[in-house]
Amino acid sequence: MSSSLATWQERVASFVRTHQLETTVAIRLLDLMAEVGELSKAHLEATDYGRHPARYTANWEEELGDILFTLVCLANQTGVSLDTALAQALAKYERRLAQHGHPGRSV
């Protein structure tokens, strides 16, 4: 796997240090949930609350960026390599697809 995720993690860590944005894991997790909520709101607005096909704006991209930033911060704070985590997730989904024909967990 490429090192681009590792590079992102380094860039975000440097940014957080430079701007003194350190916080607790609990606060970072709550921030992630809030950002996902904002993305959900952007989707509702992009579809006029389900009345039309989605017409995504720059706000959609901005909210995705906020989620990515917060997720990278959370990974950094908890010592998770996103390169490794993504590779493991892809392998898990490959196994599930091969075993069950879908990526969801077998019940």
> Does pTM surpass 0.85?
yes
Residues 41 and 60: their CA atoms lie apart, in Å, by: 9
Tens digit of each residue's pLDDT (9 = 90 or more) over 50-72 = 999 999 999 999 999 999 999 99
> Which residue ranges make up each domain of the chain?
4-80
pLDDT for residue 43 is more than 90: yes
List of residues 6+ apart from 58 with CB closer than 8 A: none
pLDDT for residue 3 is more than 70: no
CATH number for region 4-80: 1.10.287.1080
Residues 18 and 20: their CA atoms lie apart, in Å, by: 6
